[in-house]
Structures are given as structure tokens and as C-alpha cells.
């Protein structure tokens, strides 16, 4: 199986030994504590689950600035986005303290992780702007960019140091059939006997074009299996809730994929909307979960018109150093149903087609149809998937 990023073995930061976990929970009751931001909590979940291997905790100011500028830590580890614990004020916390990190997303704010504070540093306004510019390029000051807004809302004080993760926030309890750690996915891949695995990222329901793209990638790469890996964390207003996406995707896999060819899983992370940089981060943690290939499509991890349609592909060609990652990228063009050929194809592979030769529906148009109880055409969406989405839109009227 493909090796994790940066180490020979996966090193998740979750404390799996039940006695040790319980002892840490008791210790945390007597530690100074902070309620962290949702982004910091999501980072803890990803560190605990092994997706952020080989990181051992939250980055220092120097590492974060180096990652933002050059996609590598000060020690030279390739990494595309800062992994930080940002707060507005460290209060009475001092370097050398051991503190409890409390979950902002669960009632009662239970302890999510225990942290050894190795440094407390403050970013200047200019440094925050630099990180925003580099990570959310090309125009971080664009009004309404949810990633930039969420990043800057956390505060400028950086607490860095190793952590021990005690639970997986709300993801394991709210999505017991879908949330999986990188450890669990690696184990299931081994149990299924898959050697070549392609991963597909989604934060939306999968329509026919997405389904066919996965079939194309599996066929062209000669893959044994597909891991559909959906984001279960915070999205932007208007996005389809995770339980609805999960139900729609599972129905699609049940009806339209051969048995033992696809896994439906999810991970606990908030969407960054960082476009190309987030595409690279997605590749890192797909390698850590055991995928050998990863599909990068049109406007991957984008928001609005902030990025070019294929910026998340070109970053691998122009900015990711050779050998930085072992996982291979499957570049995908926009896929759509061809009326001429009576099937879904990549639009770039049909030079004789015009726009009128494809069934093209905007996201807004599809939402309008679903909200009005009208199923999108069969060339756009499987009827069984459309029904689940129509039922959801009917429920929120």
C-alpha cells in the first residue's frame, strides 16, 4: 500500500488506549482550558484521525509563514496550508503549560484534546494578510470570501505545540456510518484487497456527471476501488447538509456501482475554500488514507469565481515539487451529457461539440427545479438521487 506522507507508518494523534484516554480526560479537568475555533477543532480531528500525518500538533508562527510562502515547514516538510491554533487572547496561558482544548461545536464544550504549549506568538496584520494572500490567492480582499473571513475571524495569537486527541468531536456520533479516520480507511482498503485506489472529494451531492467521472477514472487508471470521501464539517450557507448528501450518494453507489468497487466515507473538517492550495491539502490527506490516485476536477475547492476553473490542477504542475507527494493526480475536465453521443463525456474530449450539444444546468437552476418538486432530466441526475434531494427541499419550505 502507498506510504503515508512524510513517514513510513501512519501516526494518528488520537489516544486509542482506553485507560490512557480516560486518564487524560481526568487530567484535563484540572488544566487551564480554552474553547477553540471551529477551524482549530477541525485541525485537531484531522490530526487525531491521521489525515495530517506526519504533523504532531499545531504549527509555530515560523512554520505557518514558511508554509504559506513556500509550501514547506522550516524543517523542509512539504505542506500546503498552515495548521494553526489561533486565539484572540492567550489570557494567563504561558509557554510550558499543558492545557485542555475544548470543542466549540458540541454542547457543553467537552475536551477535544490536550496540548503542550511550546510557544505563544502573535501574527502582525501584515503577516495575517500575507498568509491570506498566499493561501487564498489571487485576491484575498475580495468581498465575501468565506475562507478569508473565517481565517481572520479566529484571532492573531498562535499557540503551537503537540496535542493528544481524545475524541472526534460530533463527527463520530452524528455520522457513525460515514465518518472514518485515515487509519480505518487504510484498514478497509487492505481488507478489500485493493491495490490501486482513486479518491473522489465532494461537498455536494453527486449527479450523473460526477458518477460517470468516477467510472472514467477507475477504468482509465485500472483501479480496484473508489473511495468517495465527503466533507462532513462546516460549509457555507445554502450548501446541502451532510446527511442529505450522504443518503443521495449511498443510493447512487447501491444502484450504479458494482459490489465491492466503492466505499462511501467522510472526514471531519471545515471547508477552507482555498482553491488550489486546498486541492493540494486534499491530495496529502488522501495519500495518508491510502489512495494511490486523486481526482482533481473543475473548480476544485473553489468558491464563486475566485479561482480559474483549473487552477487546482495547474498548481500540481507548476508549484508542487517533483517527488513531494507519492499520490498521483487524475486531472478531469468538466463532464456533461452529450446529446450527440448519448452519454456523459469530458467536454475537452469532444472538439466537434458546441455548447448546445450538451445538457448543461447551472447549480441555481437545479436548486430551483428541486425546490419546485421538478426532477432534473435523466441526463443530469439519477432519478433515485433526485428524489432524495427533492424530498429535502420540500422539507425546508
Which residue's entry shows cell 487508471? 221
Residues annotated catalytic, as ranges: 203-204
Gyration radius of the chain's alpha carbons: 21
DSSP collapsed to 3 states, the chain: CCCCCCCCCCCCCECCCHHHHHHHHHHHCCCEEEECCHHHHHHHHHHHHCCCCCCCEECCHHHHHHHHHHCECCCCCECCCCCCCEECCCCCCCCCCEEEEECCCCCCCCEEEEEECCEEEECCHHHHHHHHHHHCCCCCCCCCCHHHHHHHCCCCEEEEEEEEECCCCCHHHHCCCCECCHHHHHHHHHHHCCCCEEEEEECCCCCHHHHHHHHHHHHHHCCCEEEEEEECCCCCCCCCCHHHHHHHHHHHHHHHCCCCCEEEEEECCCCCCCHHHHHHHHHHHHHHCCCCEEEECCCCCCCCCCCCCCHHHHHHHHCCCCCCCCCEEEECCCEEEECCCCEEEEHHHCCCCCHHHEECCCHHHHHHHHHCCCCCCCCCCCHHHHHHHHHHHHHCC
Name the residue among 264, 267, 266, 241 with its Cα closest to residue 253. Answer: 264
Planar angle of CA 317, 322, 327, nearest 5 degrees: 85
Other beta carbons within 10 angstroms of residue 324's beta carbon come to 18
113 phi and psi angles, rounded to 5 deg? -160, 160
Amino acid at each position: 500500500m502507498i506510504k503515508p506522507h512524510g513517514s513510513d507508518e501512519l501516526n494518528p494523534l488520537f489516544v486509542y488506549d482506553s485507560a490512557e484516554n480516560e486518564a487524560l480526560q481526568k487530567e484535563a479537568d484540572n488544566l487551564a482550558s480554552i474553547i477553540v475555533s471551529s477551524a482549530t477543532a477541525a485541525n485537531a480531528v484531522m490530526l487525531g484521525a491521521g489525515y495530517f500525518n506526519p504533523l504532531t500538533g499545531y504549527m509555530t508562527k515560523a512554520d505557518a509563514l514558511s508554509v504559506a510562502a513556500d509550501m514547506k515547514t522550516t524543517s523542509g516538510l512539504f505542506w500546503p496550508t498552515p495548521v494553526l491554533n489561533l486565539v484572540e487572547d492567550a489570557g494567563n496561558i504561558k509557554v510550558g503549560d499543558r492545557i485542555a482544548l475544548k470543542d466549540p461545536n458540541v454542547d457543553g464544550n467537552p475536551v477535544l484534546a490536550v496540548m503542550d504549549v511550546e510557544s505563544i506568538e502573535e501574527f502582525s496584520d501584515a503577516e495575517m494578510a500575507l498568509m491570506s494572500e498566499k493561501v487564498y490567492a489571487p485576491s484575498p480582499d475580495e468581498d465575501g470570501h468565506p475562507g478569508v473571513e473565517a481565517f481572520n475571524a479566529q484571532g492573531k495569537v498562535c499557540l503551537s505545540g503537540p496535542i493528544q486527541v481524545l475524541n472526534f468531536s460530533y463527527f463520530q456520533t452524528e455520522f457513525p456510518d460515514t465518518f472514518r479516520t485515515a487509519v480505518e480507511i487504510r484498514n478497509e482498503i487492505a481488507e478489500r484487497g485493493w491495490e490501486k485506489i482513486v479518491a473522489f472529494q465532494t461537498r455536494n451531492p453527486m449527479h450523473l456527471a460526477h458518477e460517470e467521472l468516477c467510472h472514467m477514472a477507475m477504468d482509465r487508471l485500472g483501479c480496484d476501488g473508489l473511495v468517495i470521501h465527503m466533507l462532513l464539517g462546516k460549509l457555507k450557507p445554502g450548501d446541502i447538509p451532510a446527511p442529505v448528501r450522504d443518503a443521495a450518494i449511498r443510493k447512487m453507489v447501491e444502484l450504479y456501482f458494482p459490489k465491492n468497487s466503492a466505499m462511501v466515507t467522510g472526514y471531519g473538517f471545515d471547508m477552507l475554500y482555498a482553491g488550489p492550495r486546498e486541492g493540494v491539502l486534499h491530495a496529502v490527506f488522501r495519500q495518508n488514507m491510502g489512495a494511490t490516485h486523486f481526482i482533481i476536477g473543475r473548480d476544485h475547492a473553489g468558491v464563486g469565481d475566485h479561482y480559474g476553473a483549473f487552477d487546482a490542477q495547474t498548481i500540481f504542475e507548476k508549484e508542487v515539487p517533483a517527488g513531494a507527494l507519492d499520490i498521483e493526480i487524475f486531472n478531469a475536465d468538466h463532464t456533461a451529457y452529450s446529446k450527440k453521443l448519448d452519454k456523459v463525456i469530458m467536454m475537452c474530449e469532444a472538439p466537434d461539440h458546441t455548447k448546445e450539444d450538451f445538457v448543461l444546468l447551472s447549480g441555481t437552476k437545479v436548486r430551483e427545479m428541486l425546490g419546485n418538486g421538478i426532477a432534473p432530466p435523466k441526463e443530469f441526475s439519477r432519478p433515485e438521487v433526485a428524489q432524495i434531494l427533492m424530498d429535502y427541499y420540500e422539507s425546508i419550505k
